[in-house]
Structure 1
């Protein structure tokens, strides 16, 4: 987009500014002169002033590399600036091509750097861009030290996607106040502030430039234009600003006062500044008292805003956001917003976190306490009073921060429940986290209907107290579910709203529990009404059940203690989530399934310990990755160790139907997984997210050029066969969490990508398209196999990537039915072949069969949406018979081994076909090189034919006479790699084809 008018206005403003201030312009390059004179390239030729899709005018600076992976930079000196004495402005337009930034494809613009080599490991400076650290696509201003991100100064709300154009302006004052502005459609006529910060660590002003890291499919697709770098002496206008944008306070048990400084400089006349509280503040009205409503400046100087921080009853961390505005006089605003973060102090050091007061079948009852003090506590001689009994903690009992201590009470109380829900009868090692002790008085028990539990320190001061009865949680009594405190509970509270049934696996250890997701209002994780008892906090356990309408989206960095995601439930993490999640996937049979962990960081040893797999030959168990080196399944044993890589697929078989569990962190960044060709192209990969991914988007993104065909193969445990899904015919298909599938690598060593932007919440239903479809099914003594024909507008009778899906070749089957291409056939078997809809009733499709001599095979069809009157016939060219499969199945006994096409063909016709002579269609004949010294001819029916080959100079190089009944392989001499003309002469006519001999 060309912003001609806005650009002119901007230049006039620059001219006026020049007349008023001391001013230096270091770079002002629109690249309209067609060269990059004055710029230094890391590698000569990597950048160019290009007319290819310029941002403005007729030329833009463009990356000039293609089809290779690497990094490039270009820089220019800005040594005439003085960051200590000048306010500096950097301005430029930037756009990327049709690719979404990732850890492998990223760019950042160095505003100022201490050396021209922007890829150096020693470069220091400030840079704005995406993915400088990690793989977040948020446009961010970084302080860079030794070539790496040190501090994120400003993180904007701009999530950089594919094909984006932005006009960017960054300003820095002599005081080190930074601000980012952005124009959403390029240019500088609608700039909006994206945030402010203060940093004065670096004041050097040596070089400006851009650094670009890219893969082969992204090379060449980055443009910059209208680059302006200039400095000017600070404005002589009066200016008023907060001295800083943020501050922190810690709440105490009494009210206290704090002050926030505001400074006026370049005083010319009296200035009045209003002070207000921004509505984005999270603190409640009673949590603070603003004592200053305005400031009156009669000279240069600093005045303070006074605010009282009040002690409150809740346990929440809060913010008070203050705004200043000039209400009288004239002054430029610097930092106009200040955020005070208030850390709460009301969490108790030790809390009663869970208890079982009426075990359903035994007297196994317990009380659990939790240490959230921030350090290890000596709780020697502390007491726990319950039901008229007193338990005293032994001497030298050290209680680790973040740990749980279980006191088993009752005659059968004999152990501890650990963080991983295992039960350990160990009461001696009391210094270890999550340990336990037993009240040895076997008659001491909790009241089965009501009671009070009191925790006291060694001085007898009450630390926590809980009063309970059956009215608190009706489901607790008698069914074994424990009673745990929730995240929003206040100290010493005992009302029913502060307690709930345990949400993690129905039992101990209890934790300072978060809540259960209901999705009652929206998908927002931070909306309280979407939870049973409020938004989870750092000590919370959460549960995401199945069968809901709304599922959570996490948009900001979040910390919890632990979480469980039920089978069929989904969670989208668009920000970092700290805390372990268990993902449960229900497997309805003990058959084999292809799965992939929808969390990161799980290990083989943990998965094997957590789940019960079927046993196999020797020590093998039912879990195996796939190896495409010819050995296929890499079966694991009970002693296998190692991390499961995100994106890796596994084949699993449980000992019995049930739940398969994975445990780890939610994946919140893009995942790149390596794939290879090796012995075969096939690689077992899987959805690494706890949400659905769309198949069409999966193929359209970074993976567009990484695969040999846009097809995936999924194992159907019910039919014991692979299902084929493609980008064209199944673009709307959603791949579920924990689902693995095969892909075919398009290069010897490459990667596929799973992008966070492709996540969505879906139901488990999938609605088929209303296209005409035909399924041919073969059933024999060796098994059952099927192949499909789709009829779609716009496809051809040759290969259409994304619409024709080959048979899964990672494991060879002894019994298989498929089809081969109607034209341009190269002998490849297809599980799905798409054919033109407008030619549906004139198609003759070669059927490929793999089966042994003597096999008795039943052939049948099923179809949907075929045009009325269309009949499906199976042609047997050996017996010269047509059988109408539309009405009946047919049974065939094979008289030879089959390994391809030649005998059987599918005809679709609105006419009745019989044993009349076969119609010859020379257009369906295909010729291809099937080995170094052979050609294969398919689709030809002839008792006498001649094949002659000519080189491109017209010289005859080979002649062969032969007969063919649909497919024939012919020997040829050893020939040089080149293009040759093949002429087939038959009684029905002559066919010419160009082929490439390699």
Structure 2
């Protein structure tokens, strides 16, 4: 037990109040100039808001105020102003200046001297090192006309409170890292530290706080320790990849120790937590611990649910043992604890991995990847007042991680040790994971009725309700008074057994309580399938929820069945919920040992399947089968997310793959087996939605002439056929659930023909029940994919507006059952191939996973439609086109709402949904951003930023409104209403900079020049005013010289020119820019 008495966490911080207003009397509501220094100003009652405003009178005038600032902090400045008549021609400036030397730090980018109503002006600044006092000043000149007064109101300078988001996952942790050893479940990493890099006295402060004891901790008199303390100088990173926690003997009875924790930085509720540790020497009176702590551990309420100390291990003995402990109800006289000792072979030699799986009901302890003991929620205590009932034990609230060395409560001889260092615990890495819900194998659609609709349930006198008094708050089916029923068509496999379960509750009243659940052959007819028990018996106790369980085996030749919940006349209403039908296999793969089918320990039953047995491959495992010989089974069923590789070998017997979908939205699906029939029975059994006329929610994609009604989509209308292998389909279910595909596993190379037509987009898919590495797909088909689109494009339902497509590349994976778009470079026969040898096993790969980019720039409209474009930074990228890195926008489906970028260099007007740029000199790169949106639409920009330099900030420039918005601070966004329809670049730009920007910094950096065809040159991002364009050939001969009045974008006609390299020279009032173009 840690026996925490008092603990103070000492952190070094800069005191700067986020969101603090620095200006005094910015609205002049005192009726005077309190806080201000003025020249030729007066107070007026013509305000923007409130009762008063300042007036800078005719002739020269100024107003200023000094404020105290923190160097390196971003401040936002805003004020409202208007002119007296709208005809002033004066010079006027709003500036931030250094109060020591009057040096200008920032200038307001714009004044509209025609404004006769108040305008809000904004800009920002960041004080440099050493600058702690600045002043805001507006000063203006004199116009002989006498009509040059300026009204000022609502002046504000606010610390924007920007703090770079903490990086909780160490970039050195492997992508896709999973827990060490055999930990059941499906996991996603959410915290890690590998402790790499140079030596440091402190670990990464994004992840760790060094513990400091304010008072001595609990004495260990049998060790001779009267006082022991946690100290910062006993924590370090050693430069060899380990965190070191040291213990030392300060004097004859005092020990100093090292400790770190994640309090306030990472505080999860539930998950799997592991650390690889070489413990400190227990013979010297030290113990090493890996544990968690809750904020409310000290609450005395006979429960650990509101917070506890969770000790995963404490190495207090010189023998090969340790213990796990849960402490709650504080550390005083009310203290409660439950201790579980366990053996730890060789714990005193080298590194070992200590882990804990914390759920709402249990804490399972792991040692070197193997579960060794467990603590449950209601463990009885030998000292409990009611040991028969036990006490709630497992926390249900957030807790933080802790690594520590301390004075041992077990073995050791501290009293015999000399003064000085005692021992060091070394931590190689720490990782924490959150549980990812595994796909269900329930073949019922809408079994929980949470759609609020009956479909695909059929029959009569039934409804979906949410008014149950016993189980409020969720949807359920209801068969009303007297006769009625629910039924649903199912896709089943002959010879396979299924478990059936559903919840039910009778409504009390006059009448009977009698309903018989049955399974019926086919999509119609009345032949019942035998169940076990033969007649499932339901409870007749009303007003309480019960569960019915029974099973059945699909007879030979039966591929469709119906579940029928039938209630005859004279019976009371019955509520029904959570209807589930899942496979009941003879053998279940667990992959405990390796990927070999013939290894008995890879099977939960301990024996290899026989040739007649039904075999099930579940989700969420570390190892999946790779055949090394032919196998024969009664039926092989593979659950969604699981993987099976049969390269060079065959499976005799049927194969079914379940593809799980979490919602009722459209998804791109490809059958992972060959031979599945597509007909009305399959549509009904899989809960496919119905559309207009005979259209069903299954469609192929055609890149030819658009259909006047359905565009590029060709919907299934009832004509039976077989799903094509390697072709993608767009599908939509009534609710989340399974698509069931049955047939055979494809063998050999799978090839399809992709074509160029009205568009070059083609919908293809993964033909195998295994994963495919995207770089393999692209690499094998590079010559047949267009250079600007060497990616696969998947539909992402998180992008709910417009064309919600996301690119996958490199180390991303295609899921079994997943379809995707590619862009064809030609129409050669069988020009897109996936070879059998490219199959991979993976676990916990999301259906839409893509690599993290450095910047994701989002736009959202008032209907919550969302689109984004990505900017990545890599060492092997350039500012021009990088094939296989830069991804052109998906254009296979039209969209009137989109966002994209253009290449920083050598742009040819192509829209990119992802652009990859060099990872150096980021401040020099200005990225043109384009949007497509309708007139009158309100657009909000926001950003997610990952792993940029901590001193770099991300700004969105709106050239039309002359504003910069700092987007990577918390909750930052920029909203604009479009006065006209927009499609293209020239208005918005992304900048990365260490300090605030003004319009003058970027006037010509934003300009892009590219040809849109052989006769037209387009220039975008031009400042307002007169501009001149000249075109020179490689010999320096002038080919064009044209002058025009610019306002954003300009097209320039080209004469007939020879192929070759040309230089465009752009001259404006603000500077000159030369860019190279190539005419082909």
TM-score normalised by the chain length of structure 2? 0.44
TM-score normalised by the chain length of structure 1? 0.48
